[in-house]
Amino acid sequence: MTYMVKRFYSDERWPMTVKRGLTLEEAREHCSRDDTRGPVSCPNGHGYIGLRGGTQVKRPKRCPVCETGLVPDWFDGYNKE
């Protein structure tokens, strides 16, 4: 069995296939990387948070202003092919 990685967007855009023919481990590895997620922003309009300057910036899960869960602009997820 192989897996495909798709890029999902927070707006109306249709998911885009990024990679195909991966093993489960490869798909998991890909999706856990920090560069397979877009910048996160507050859905209540408090702006982008934790934007990457270097590569190792840990992004917060919640908005420091209103505590709402932050939403990435896009992220990669995997499915069975």
12-71: contacts with Zn ion (CB under 5 A): 42, 44, 46, 63, 65-66
* Minimum distance of Zn ion from residue 42's CB (angstroms): 3
Distance CA 54, CA 23 (A): 29
Contact criterion met (CB below 8 Å) for 76 and 36: yes
* Minimum distance of Zn ion from residue 61's CB (angstroms): 12
DSSP string, 29-42: HHHHSGGGB--EE-
Please list the residues that pair with 4 across neighbouring strands: 79
* Minimum distance of Zn ion from residue 19's CB (angstroms): 33
Looking at the Cβ atoms of 45 and 54, the one nearer to Zn ion is 45
Which residues in this chain contact Zn ion in the complex, by CB under 5 A?
42, 44, 46, 63, 65-66
